[in-house]
Structure 1
Amino acid sequence: MPRKRQMKLSAYLVGTGMHAASWRLEGANPGASIDIDYYRRLAQTAERGKFDIAFLADSLAINEQSHPNILNRFEPITLIAALAGATSRIGLVATASTSYIEPFNLARLFMSVDHISKGRAGWNIVTTRDLSGNTARNFGKEAHLELEHRYRRAGEFVDVVRGLWDSWEDDAFLFDKAGGRFFDPNKMHRIRHKGEFFAVEGPLNIARSPQGHPVLVQAGNSGPGQAFAAKVGEVIFAIKYNFEDARAFYREFKQKVAAAGRNPDDVYILQGISPVIGATEEEARAKRKELEALLPEETIIGFLADYFKEVDFSRFTADTTAREAGLDTIQAANPDYRKHQPVIARENPTLREIYSLIIGSFSGDSFVGTPEKIASSLEKWFLEGAADGFMLMAPALPEGLEVFVDRVVPLLQERGLFRSEYEGRTLREHLGLPIPVNRHAAGSPV
């Protein structure tokens, strides 16, 4: 009998939380983003909740308008290597860009962490959005690559990385002391890649891990981004702000996966949520109001002025509506705005609410309330075709993660929607993903 479908859960770990004012809360540690003991506790809390993934984002440039929790933070591959020693089951996913590193370096870094964690690593593939305007100059370049150029490069980049991860067949290392044979040369393979962007000889100087390859995570929103994600992504991170939009995206993206010649059931879509949880509806709303009150108006206006460089925000306040500011119809140069504009045009939020939507610290009224309300919203989205699981982007950490683990996860378990115990040890086992067949092995389809 096939196993009952269960939702996947990932915890987005970012300092004191997704809300830009979370560092100002009483008891918050403003230096949390570079406190390894703090991150260990977060990862252990998520593991206690039987989460599939602890997720670490990244950026390669900052400016004066950047979120406080990214102004001063760890490099994520380094961080997941440290968290591997503080946990034993939860998957560990780090973000790394295909635009500002070489494939050999990245392949080696992630395969090293996959071994250190005994098969629990994942790579969140990004091509890097240049929101700060400084990214290219941080790497000695004059201009950031155009969108389509970045995704062409990313496609070749991933092909090279996968090839390097298959440098060694699984039984290549003999360790034959008596015969003096450390490895079988016939099972070591050079990639000898020469393409539009890269020339890489190989082989990689590390063997495949217990799960074969790290899991590939992707979050493309543009047309080229979604085409790329449908071709290579195994876990897809999306943010939609209501059930109808999420279900439409789910259906359309699964069709893209099938059109790319892949099994849609082997690709999981996780919707990003930022729930505000209280013992009562009133308490949850009070928590949200407290966070919003800690956000200075100049921070909101300054961020939006930097985000929408074509709009003069000097005459607006945080309570100005989208329509009053013209943001419901604007043809924004920032491509990131395309995913936000439909909900903004439909609901006409204030600039304060738009700020929260853009930075991912608010998911709408259906995710503000009691644990029972949150669990029921997740159940609806999961069972009615809007998500395979969720990326918990708690507005405030550690409290938001702890309350979710202690109050929401048990409800999901009682309803048979989420695991009570880990059944495997690798991230692929948690997700139910197959181990990639080494392309050089006998019988490989590659």
Structure 2
Amino acid sequence: MTTRRRKQLHIGLAAYGTGWDLRAWRLPEANNHGLIDPSVITDIARIAERGKLDYIFAGSSLASDADSLQRIHRWDTSVFAGYAAAVTRNVGFLVSVNSSFEHPFTVARQVATLDNFSRGRVALNVVFGIDRSGHPELNYEGENLPDEQSKYVRAREFTVALNQLLHSWDRDFVLDDKEGGTLVRPGSWHTIDFRGEFFNVRGPLNAPPPVQQQIANVHVGMSPESLDYGADLAHVRFSPYFGLEIGREHYRSHKQRVSDRGRDPEAFKIIPGITPFVGGTLREAREKFREVQAFQVTTQLPAAYSRAFGLNLREINESERVLDVIDTDTIGADSLKQLVSDQAHRTSRLAGQERTADDDARWLRDVVIPTLGEDLTLADLYRFTLSNRYSQGAVVGDAATIATWLETHLEEEALDGIQIFPPYHRGPADAFVDQVVPELQRRGIFRTEYEHDTLAETLGIAADARIPKPASSTQSEHSDEQAEQDAA
């Protein structure tokens, strides 16, 4: 009798010049040359391929914010992906584009080119935020930019036009009839004649169609409009992490949205982000995590705890254990929000749902205490809560602990995979690949070799008929002779 194969994890790796954490770059062992040296980023791609990971995520930013570590000297993602694809063979590349600022024809040319040069290893992270710090809109003044309400309309137009352009050439367009004098097969290209509020695109694309039948669209966002966009037009949801229990709620909700559209929920992947701190032992991992956390000053801690919990820290030392001072079962709905003065605390609810008193208690119980242990101090909790980067779910432990965390979340259907955000370079990504991945392989929930040629196949997404293709297969009004001349 054959043994049924266990459900498999999908794992992506985020590539940032200094790593993801806003403070870990200060560690003595951190290499921060990735801000100026592209070889550091391609090194990350090689690490991912050594670990048989699904893809590299190259985040993008269009803002000018010299005071924000995550928004200075960010490599252009399409150029980075093309460069790194040349030194790898299997790992995929998740490229970020912003539909509020970029044009579908230009992006379609980049995607088609990248997918052909990488032989089918490209996916897109379509974002449409215009309201982040750094004011990216000031870099595009005079452009037809959307506002907060219309950005969703533009995002849908962008995605539909992009997909139509990518499929505006038949795959057998090269006839190469030397004797007959016909290079391009007549009737093999099609206008899309897209007309919308923000984009008017005739087409066809002047680049060959991509290798992949479907370019995966990875979506992020928490608003109702954003979630609807994902259910209609995306294949993967990059989701924030708020703990196992809330993760299960999110997982069921997102899968149901996709199913309600008549799409296969099993082919729609839920992939939250985590920030791993891997140590040879649990204690070693927690010590490194605390070392990074200690870069966060706690001068506002007394006022913060007074505001959130009514505690007078003139009488209670910040090194006191949280469980000795605070009744975690009676935390108010906004206690942790007040703890950080409403600057960094992220809501854990699904879109359209009110926060409840149990949300913060569950987050503390399911995320914070497992990360730092029951000896969690008041200073630890303050630093952890203030660090908005850890909405990417800091997971701290030795290889077995982190593998068990992943295995549990996979089996409990809180996720289909994870995207790891190494806090700094170099070290955390290597530790995950060299220590955690072999443990996942031993448990039978992660591949030991690449099994597919394209990223779409690796991610397990089928070509989805609901993702818009060209509205018509009618060739333009050019004659066949003129079309051949234009194509040549």
Q: 1:363 matched to which residue of 2?
A: 393
Instruction: State the shift of 1:275 in Å.
Output: 1.9
Bigger drift between 137-146 and 164-173 goes to 137-146
Tell me the secondary structure at the aligned position of residue 132 of structure 2.
coil
Is 1:245 paired with 2:249? Answer: no
Tell me the secondary structure at the aligned position of residue 101 of structure 1.
coil
Tell me the secondary structure at the aligned position of residue 167 of structure 1.
coil
Q: 1:44 matched to which residue of 2?
A: 46
Sort the Cα spacing of 1:141 and 1:323 in 2 relative to 1 into closer, same or farther, 3 A. Answer: farther
Q: 2:185 matched to which residue of 1?
A: 184
TM superposition score normalised by structure 1: 0.86
Q: 2:304 matched to which residue of 1?
A: 320
Question: Contact 1:59/1:128 (CA < 8 Å) preserved in 2?
Answer: no
Write the distance in 1 (CA, Å) between the matches of 2:360 and 2:101: 33
Query: In the TM superposition, what are the counterparts of 1:281-360 in structure 2 within 5 Å?
Result: 281-296=282-297, 316-317=300-301, 320-321=304-305, 323=308, 328=336, 337-339=346-348, 343-344=359-360, 350-356=381-387, 358-360=388-390
Instruction: State the shift of 1:144 in Å.
Output: 7.2
Q: 2:313 matched to which residue of 1?
A: none
Write the distance in 2 (CA, Å) between the matches of 1:373 and 1:10: 19
Question: Contact 1:20/1:295 (CA < 8 Å) preserved in 2?
Answer: no
Q: 1:157 matched to which residue of 2?
A: 158
Instruction: State the shift of 1:419 in Å.
Output: 0.4
Bigger drift between 388-397 and 410-419 goes to 388-397
Write the distance in 1 (CA, Å) between the matches of 2:130 and 2:337: 22
Sort the Cα spacing of 1:329 and 1:144 in 2 relative to 1 into closer, same or farther, 3 A. Answer: farther
Query: In the TM superposition, what are the counterparts of 1:168-247 in structure 2 within 5 Å?
Result: 168-247=169-248
Instruction: State the shift of 1:221 in Å.
Output: 1.4
Bigger Rg, which one: 2
Instruction: State the shift of 1:347 in Å.
Output: 5.1
Q: 2:456 matched to which residue of 1?
A: 428
Q: 2:61 matched to which residue of 1?
A: 59
State the aligned residue count.
421
Amino acid at match of 2:181: G
Q: 2:270 matched to which residue of 1?
A: 269
RMSD (Å) for aligned C-alpha atoms? 2.9
Write the distance in 2 (CA, Å) between the matches of 1:217 and 1:353: 28
Write the distance in 1 (CA, Å) between the matches of 2:203 and 2:344: 36
Sort the Cα spacing of 1:79 and 1:339 in 2 relative to 1 into closer, same or farther, 3 A. Answer: farther
Question: Contact 2:221/2:227 (CA < 8 Å) preserved in 1?
Answer: yes
1:402 is aligned, of 408, 412, 430, to 430
1:391 is aligned, of 410, 414, 419, to 419
Q: 2:31 matched to which residue of 1?
A: 29
Cα deviation 1:106-164 (Å, max 9, x = unaligned): 11111111111111011101002422151111111599744431111101110000110
Write the distance in 2 (CA, Å) between the matches of 1:44 and 1:91: 11
Write the distance in 2 (CA, Å) between the matches of 1:413 and 1:77: 31
Sort the Cα spacing of 1:345 and 1:105 in 2 relative to 1 into closer, same or farther, 3 A. Answer: farther
Instruction: State the shift of 1:435 in Å.
Output: 4.1
Question: Contact 1:18/1:360 (CA < 8 Å) preserved in 2?
Answer: no
Gaps of 5+ in 2: 311-333, 350-354, 369-380, 474-488
Instruction: State the shift of 1:436 in Å.
Output: 5.7
Sort the Cα spacing of 1:418 and 1:95 in 2 relative to 1 into closer, same or farther, 3 A. Answer: same
Question: Contact 2:21/2:423 (CA < 8 Å) preserved in 1?
Answer: yes
Write the distance in 2 (CA, Å) between the matches of 1:145 and 1:21: 34
Instruction: State the shift of 1:185 in Å.
Output: 2.8
Question: Contact 1:97/1:126 (CA < 8 Å) preserved in 2?
Answer: yes
Question: Contact 1:19/1:361 (CA < 8 Å) preserved in 2?
Answer: no
Amino acid at match of 2:304: T
Q: 1:100 matched to which residue of 2?
A: 101
Q: 1:416 matched to which residue of 2?
A: 444
Sort the Cα spacing of 1:337 and 1:205 in 2 relative to 1 into closer, same or farther, 3 A. Answer: same
Q: 2:320 matched to which residue of 1?
A: none
Write the distance in 2 (CA, Å) between the matches of 1:142 and 1:352: 41
Write the distance in 2 (CA, Å) between the matches of 1:363 and 1:329: 17
Question: Contact 1:362/1:395 (CA < 8 Å) preserved in 2?
Answer: no
Amino acid at match of 2:32: P
Write the distance in 1 (CA, Å) between the matches of 2:153 and 2:170: 28
Bigger drift between 181-190 and 434-443 goes to 434-443
Q: Percent identity among equivalent residues?
A: 32
Amino acid at match of 2:56: A
Bigger drift between 174-183 and 91-100 goes to 174-183
Write the distance in 1 (CA, Å) between the matches of 2:85 and 2:188: 29
Instruction: State the shift of 1:327 in Å.
Output: 6.5
Cα deviation 1:202-257 (Å, max 9, x = unaligned): 01011212213422111121111111111111111111121001111000000000
Sort the Cα spacing of 1:19 and 1:196 in 2 relative to 1 into closer, same or farther, 3 A. Answer: same
